[in-house]
Chain A
Amino acid sequence: MKVTNVENVTRVYKIGEVETQALRGVTMGIEAGEFTALVGPSGSGKTTLLQLMGCLDQPTSGKVFVNGKDVSTLKRSERADVRRGTIGFIFQFFALIPTLTAYENVEMPLLLNGLKSDERKTRVMELLQAVGLSERAHHKPDQLSGGEQQRVAIARALAPKPTMILADEPTANLDTTNGEQVMEIMSKLNKETGVTFIFASHDPRVIKYGRRVVQLQDGLIVQDTIAKTNKKGK
């Protein structure tokens, strides 16, 4: 079953009188449980495609489906509802709320989904344990390293048990060791929980983790390959 698919999607940004065509007619689908890398140079349309699949943006033309539902023309509040329950996000900047602790950041989507206090506590600690940060639960983002912040962001993305997690350049601001660690965790969680991961990157060290690699160039898919093995042969 496809968790998301896009059909002949275009996206044109208009800044003043200048129009930029970020996507020129992309069609693709992502099956449940995939660990897919969107690759390509800057301006190829990776981030735009992720944003459309994540209901953060709407296409200029074409259709976007999430879990079989057409989300292309939903209103802002309806898109927020779709995101809240089914999609998790990891951004290249460590997108945590700076005034909340690691625990509270992970707890936020659960609060938005109306989970009870004891259920939230169990889930948050379980997730922080999974990303190796249970000891740092009550630290605020500025007391955590970049790698730790990104691991908290992974835990937060997983919190509401989404069907897919979209990661935009998740290691771009991390050193090699932390970048590797983040990718290992994402890969492990994908296998353990079955949640679909779609990540955009142009870093070869990240791309090699992808079990499916979709290459974009100038707003079009130019290659879509299934990797036989990833770097560790998994």
Chain B
Amino acid sequence: MKQLFKMAFRDILRHKRRSIFSAVAMGLGLTLLLMFTSFIEGEMRGSMATSIKLDTGHIQIQAQNYDKNKNSLLWQDLIPNPGQIADQVSSTLPVIAATPKLFASGVITLGNASSGVRVVGIDPSSPAYEPYKTGLVAGEFLQRDDNSGILIGKPLANQYKLKPGDSINLLVNTANGDVDQQQFTVRGIYSTESSSLDKAVVFLALPKAQAITQAGDHASIIFILLKDQNQTDAVINAIQAKGLKIVSWKVLNSFIMDFQQYADSFMSLFYLIILAITATVIINTLIMAVYERTREIGILSAIGMRSRSIMGVFFIESAIIAVGGIIIGWILGGMVVAYLTKFGFYIGNFGLTGFTTSDTIHAYLTVAKGISMTTLTFIVALLAAIYPAWLAARMEPVEALRSAQ
């Protein structure tokens, strides 16, 4: 075995440039695998974290008829006395925040321009809005008793050239099916990592939102942010909310979960294509080696080396190239992943509004993914050696010796 290693290693060194190029090809393949897998993982984790933090929370308590896509203000679709339930959850369970939210469809108008927005009534004192408070770029945050203030996102402020203190007109659907409108003063301008959300959501103090939409003391949901995401099921089981449904972040973000599954399937195909290209390089290198070394194969066979040992030499060569490629892939891929983890990759919002995906994707490489991609690369390198090794092993010694003469 040691001698086979020695032969394989020296054979590789015989054509240093070719071997290095093959290893570099493997390295680039692994770099791409590490980059894309960490990119997708980062995107999914980032989107989920952003969505939970800014939009869905870990748990929502909803009315049985509530449909998040409708922004319905019919009282049977809303939760009565939400403050009472929220206070109970806050005081008895391990949560960061449990706070009611009221959603309504609205239109902002300024002069001849108008934009559709989602109006969200909130309790500004809740810790759930820390990301918005820390993301204030101008003005101040809402107060619970603010009767005329509105908080708008930076893209909207830029679009209408609004600054704190300016007035805008807001049209809102009401519970009885009418539309009401009122002048609001821009109290503050916020900016989160999701510009598509910033562009589409405006905030009012909950009492004011309830008043303008004629929702009484109702809310659309109770938004719950947990101290520990792993306690989701335990908290859901502990919540006492008769006649209401309790929904976890997994269901609330099913789109992201589904997309992750889809992305995983798609990326598996993509990884196979990358590895197939890489394997082609290895196959080509080894086939060239087989034909160049026909005479040597004949000699080895003549002195009694068995076919499996001859195959072994080529498998070892492929493994050595793969190890070289893996080292290159770790160095190169490590640098790319480290950069993308730290600085991220700006993708913008693709012109979407209302989605809570981050504008910048930060890569996230788990140890398990790193190991699985490395193992996959190594296995593909070994698989790539099968045909050339078989080609070498099936050579009849007399033919191999004759062809070399």
Indicate whether A and B interact.
yes
Residues of A whose CB lies within 8 Å of any CB of B are 51, 54, 56-57, 76-77, 80-81, 83-85, 88-89, 91-93, 95-100, 104, 107-109, 111-113, 156, 160
A108 and B303 form a contact (CB under 8 A): yes
CB-defined contacts of A99 to chain B, threshold 8 Å: 7, 10-11, 13-14
In the complex, A85→B302 CA distance in Å?
11
In the complex, A108→B3 CA distance in Å?
8
Residues of B whose CB lies within 8 Å of any CB of A are 3, 6-7, 10-11, 13-14, 295-296, 299-307, 309, 396-398, 401, 404-405
A156 and B11 form a contact (CB under 8 A): no
B351 CB, nearest partner CB in chain A, Å:
60
In the complex, A221→B225 CA distance in Å?
98
A77, A80, A84, A111 — most chain B CB neighbours (10 Å): A80
Given contacts A99-B14, A100-B7, contact A80 B301 (CB under 8 A): yes
CB-defined contacts of B296 to chain A, threshold 8 Å: 97-98
Given contacts A93-B405, A95-B295, A99-B10, contact A85 B398 (CB under 8 A): no
In the complex, A76→B296 CA distance in Å?
17
Q: Name 22 interchain pairs, CB-CB below 8 A, sorted by A.
A: A54-B302, A57-B396, A57-B398, A76-B396, A77-B307, A80-B301, A80-B305, A83-B303, A91-B299, A91-B401, A95-B299, A95-B401, A96-B299, A97-B7, A97-B299, A98-B296, A99-B7, A104-B3, A111-B3, A112-B304, A156-B303, A160-B304
The 5 closest A-B CB pairs, nearest first, are A84-B304, A99-B10, A57-B398, A56-B398, A83-B304
A33 CB, nearest partner CB in chain B, Å:
22
CB-defined contacts of A108 to chain B, threshold 8 Å: 3, 300, 303, 305
B398 and A109 form a contact (CB under 8 A): no
B284 CB, nearest partner CB in chain A, Å:
21
B302 and A89 form a contact (CB under 8 A): yes
Given contacts A56-B302, A76-B307, A112-B305, contact A51 B404 (CB under 8 A): no
B295, B299, B301, B303 — most chain A CB neighbours (10 Å): B303
User: When the two chains form the complex, which single residue of B10, B304, B404, B405 contacts A81, counting CB atoms closer than 8 Å?
Assistant: B304
In the complex, A85→B303 CA distance in Å?
9
B303 and A109 form a contact (CB under 8 A): yes
B304 and A100 form a contact (CB under 8 A): no
